[in-house]
Copies of this chain bind each other. A is one copy, B any other.
Amino acid sequence: MAERSSIELERLRDRIDEVDKELLSLLRRRLDLVSEVGVIKHEQGLPIYAPKREAAMLMKRRDEATLMGVPPQLIEDLLRRIMRESYASENDVGFKCINPDVGPVVIVGGAGKLGTLFSQLFRLSGYEVRILDKQDWPNAEAIFSGAGVVVVSVPIHDTTQVIERLPTLPDDCVLLDLTSIKQAPLAAMLARHPGPVVGLHPMFGPDLASLAKQVVVVCHGREERKYAWLLEQIRIWGARLHEASAAEHDQAMQLVQAMRHFTAFVYGAHLRRERADLDQLLQFSSPIYRLELAMVGRLFAQDARLYGDIIFSQPDTLARARHYLERYQESLKLLERGDKAEFEAQFDEIAQWFGDFAQQFQSESGNMLLSANDNRCES
């Protein structure tokens, strides 16, 4: 009986393998079709990310899945993952050039990671790109001559100085920066260049294969109509633009970005000083536990100067960090007094303040934790 069962098990597994091979052929066909779509989109200058078509298509597939007894969330998750690959492959055919008559695009700091990403995107769209890195300043005049766009993509602490150092640019040249703070660079650009100016903050790391669905924050500076084409170009790359004032942007970045980095830094220092055994901590790995550790640890795989810049570059961060300290001390007093009732009362007040967002955050992170568990393997 056991033997008959194991023969039967083998037979079923072979059939599953065949299904999976068919899946591979389907994927191959789908990627080919998508690259044909890419060619047409390129010719017509259509954005690679078409949110409405995507949503409508997913809804149809979900309905069909339900009729066939396939869990609708399964087909949605699979198609979203497949589309990620499709977006990346659409890069290969290049993008429509919205403004073919504009002068060369000069990327200051173009040898950095983010600068490299943007030079690729501009080149894939048919623009002439010139890179200016640290050692190229002696040739600055030649590099900037006739520039149609100047992109400043240098570390935060250098941004203002680099902007002040720019030569006089052609009147219609668009000057923009990609720094993750916006007030100071925007002010410096407006002071340096009397023509069109815009501040951008690409809300993503430089290691992306595609800009599809990524957010770029736009802080308008001057002569918006003269760089409208450039924003359209970024949309064609797949990104979503979010307009905000530089002040709004910087305040939001302080509350989440700077303070979360700062507290993660403190947590890293804490784990080290408590002589935590990271290997042992990971043995107890639940997805959420692992994620909590990963969100702290990932900071330290990155560049100290980048995070130093983000945390130290804005004077207001200090005030925020002091406020956080006050909250921490208040909460610690509850712990010292063992006042669980007051902790719970405050917890409920904060929960009320979060309102529907708490639920939304839980369900969003819940999906991510499920997917983290999928990726787990025997350690």
Contacts and interface: CB of A to CB of B under 8 A. Distances in A.
A2 to B, nearest CB: 6
Interface string A20-59: 1111111111110110110011011000000111110100
A327 interface: yes
In the A-B complex, the 6 residue pairs with the smallest Cβ-Cβ separation, listed nearest first, are: A297-B361, A203-B286, A304-B347, A301-B362, A301-B358, A300-B351
A357 interface: yes
23 contacts: A9-B37, A9-B40, A17-B60, A20-B75, A24-B68, A52-B378, A84-B373, A215-B285, A217-B284, A240-B378, A248-B280, A255-B271, A262-B331, A265-B331, A266-B328, A268-B354, A269-B350, A272-B349, A272-B350, A294-B361, A297-B357, A301-B351, A312-B340
Contacts of A302: 362
Given A81-B371, A248-B280, 10 more contacts: A9-B44, A17-B57, A23-B26, A55-B378, A244-B283, A256-B292, A266-B331, A304-B344, A308-B340, A317-B335
A276 B255 contact: yes
A140 interface: no
Interface stretch (A105-113, A114-122, A141-149, A318-326): A318-326
Contacts of A307: 347
Contacts of A309: 340
B327 A270 contact: yes
A27 B26 CA distance: 12
A161 interface: no
Contact of A298 (B6, B51, B283, B365): B365
A13 B40 contact: no
Contacts of A240: 378
Given A51-B377, A286-B203, A304-B348, A77 B81 contact: yes
A183 to B, nearest CB: 15
Nearest to A31: B70
Contacts of A359: 301
Q: Among the interface residues A25, A70, A256, A268, which one has the most CB atoms of the partner chain B within 10 A?
A: A256
Contacts of A23: 23, 26, 75, 78
Where chain A touches its partner, the secondary structure class is: helix
Contacts of A228: none
Nearest to A75: B24
Contact of A284 (B253, B367, B377): B253
Contact of A12 (B36, B242, B366): B36
A138 interface: no
Contacts of A295: 291-292, 295, 361, 365
Given A23-B26, A75-B27, A274-B255, A40 B8 contact: yes
